[in-house]
Amino acid sequence: MSEGLTLSANIQHLETSATVAISAEAKRRRAAGEDVIDLGAGEPDFATPAIPAEAGIKAIRDGKTRYPANEGILELRAAAAKHLSLLSGGRPVNADRIVVSTGSKQALFNACFTLFGPGDAVAIPAPAWVSYPQIVHFARGRPVLVPGDPEWGLKVGVRDLERMVPAPKGLILCSPCNPTGSVYTHAELKAIAQWARERQIWVIGDEIYRRIHYGTGPAPSFLDLPDDLLDRVVIITGVSKTYAMTGWRIGFSLAPTPVAKAIAAFQSHTTTGANHMAQWAAAAALGDERVDQDVLRMTAEFRRRRDLVVERFRRDLTGVEFVEPHGAFYFFFRVDSFGGITGTAFCTRLITEKGVALVPGAAFGDDRWVRLSYAAATAEIQKALDRLVGFAKAL
Ligand code: PMP
Ligand code: GLU
């Protein structure tokens, strides 16, 4: 940087998102004519289902092209409230506590910026999605990675969190988890919520992958817990993953009323509100029961791909440690057993020598591991696995 061009301390920790950067690198190599398979991106390869897509087009035609309400259009907040209620056995969910944002990424940022301030410690179970520590830094908070238990799908429990003395101001928990695919059980979520309530810790539950779950029904949620455990819980979700709507940029927070109000006021000065027509598309995704068939179809396909990856590793890379995924669309495996190679070196060599893009564990706080995203066409996954197995065996 030129001398004198000092940027603000607000961004002193800023790095480009590694997950986004790897996808961009794969695209760049492809455009340059290289044969590259991208299993880096955490983005469904499916088209947005027809019903929300058409609703978005209709919204444009109907003139939903003006500023939306800061907190989001009522129709979408009502559809989201009803949807979340149905997913959690019909429990009441108040639409007034939902704020629509520009993707769940912004919903996470809003929540952190609203709840945390200078020096506040925020516990983040690790490995963790790359953006959490960055977002906490933007709020001038202090991300504290809490290593998950390798014997337990790299999840954390109350015992791990209790080691943080003094107790943190907040916790960001992702389930189903990016990058591991682990899913917290109802009992585990309850124990963590109890621990947090006793210590007056804010919990941000990132449940964006909740419906991409390979057990029965949606994955367990903080919303399945009784009201008295939810006083300091903010739930984050969105349409990007479940409905293959990453580019529409619609996410939500469900928060206690004063927090929801603060988030809406904050948005009134930052974005005004999320893209208006995309909100109508999202309302159709959540509100039209027929779209459920699309969700089931896509989730079934993710499950088949997960099985394919797991079986291939079991068969051809015996002894390689991995987390068995129960949700989301990621497969997290350990590479240091291949002669002590780091995740970063593994991924750099794999893309250069074999044309397969994966994300090094360094992006998630542990470079002994590598993340493979199976949100890609089955034939591509198969081809990538052939290359990956050949590469790893030769190491
Ligand atoms: N949380 C997690 C765990 C994610 O993997 C992603 C994917 N980018 C997001 C939040 C953000 O998703 P979006 O902004 O598209 O809703
Ligand atoms: N969440 C996805 C991933 O982890 C998309 C990229 C991003 O926003 O980080 O790959």
Ligand nearest to the CA of 172: 1
Cα separation, 84 vs 255, whole angstroms: 13
Cα separation, 254 vs 230, whole angstroms: 11
pLDDT score, position 19: 84
pLDDT score, position 21: 84
Domain ranges of the chain: 9-47+292-394, 65-290
Cα separation, 252 vs 237, whole angstroms: 5
338-374 residue pLDDT tens: 999 999 999 999 999 999 999 999 999 999 999 999 9
pLDDT band per the 50, 70, 90 thresholds, residue 2? low
Distance 337 CA to ligand 1 centre (A): 30
Question: pTM for this structure?
Answer: 0.96
Handedness of CA 145, 148, 154, 155 (dihedral sign): negative
Nearest CA to ligand 1 atom 5: 178
273: left (phi over 0), alpha (psi -120 to 50) or beta: left
Would you state the CATH architecture of domain 9-47+292-394?
A: Alpha-Beta Complex (3.90)
252-278 residue pLDDT tens: 999 999 999 999 999 999 999 999 999
Distance 157 CA to ligand 1 centre (A): 23
139-189 residue pLDDT tens: 999 999 999 999 999 999 999 999 999 999 999 999 999 999 999 999 999
Q: What is the dihedral of CA 121, 122, 125, 130, to 10 degrees?
A: -110
Ligand nearest to the CA of 209: 1
Tokens of residue 284, six digits: 């159709």
Task: Using DSSP, state whether 381 is helix, strand or coil.
Answer: helix
Q: Which atom of ligand 1 is nearest to the CA of 178?
A: 3
CB 131 within 8 A of CB 17: yes
Ligand nearest to the CA of 128: 1
Quick one: DSSP state of residue 242?
Answer: T
Ligand nearest to the CA of 332: 2
Q: Report the half-sphere exposure of 114 (CA within 13 A, side-chain side).
A: 25
**What count of residues does the chain have?**
395
Distance 279 CA to ligand 2 centre (A): 21
pLDDT score, position 4: 73
CB 191 within 8 A of CB 173: no
Distance 374 CA to ligand 1 centre (A): 16
| Long-range contacts (CB closer than 8 Å, 24 or more residues apart) made by 375-380 | 375/41, 375/42, 375/43, 375/44, 375/45, 375/302, 375/329, 376/37, 376/38, 376/39, 376/41, 376/45, 376/305, 377/45, 378/301, 378/304, 378/305, 378/308, 380/37, 380/39
Q: At what angle do helices 291-316 and 276-287 cross, to 10 degrees?
A: 80
Cβ within 8 Å of residue 291, ≥6 positions away:
49, 51, 52, 243, 284, 285
Task: Say yes or no to pLDDT of 1 above 70.
Answer: no
CATH node for 65-290:
3.40.640.10
Question: What residues pair up with 213 in beta bridges, in sequence order?
Answer: 327
Matching CATH topology for 9-47+292-394 and 65-290? no
Distance 302 CA to ligand 2 centre (A): 17
pLDDT score, position 41: 86
Percent of the chain scoring above 90 in pLDDT: 93
Q: Using a 6 Å CB cutoff, which residues line ligand 2?
A: 17, 19-20, 41-43, 129-131, 178
4-44 residue pLDDT tens: 788 999 999 998 888 888 888 899 999 999 999 999 989 99
Nearest CA to ligand 1 atom 6: 105
Nearest CA to ligand 2 atom 1: 42
**How far apart, in Å, are the Cα atoms of 103 and each of 240, 251, 331, 339?**
7, 4, 23, 40
CB 207 within 8 A of CB 222: yes
103-146 residue pLDDT tens: 999 999 999 999 999 999 999 999 999 999 999 999 999 999 99
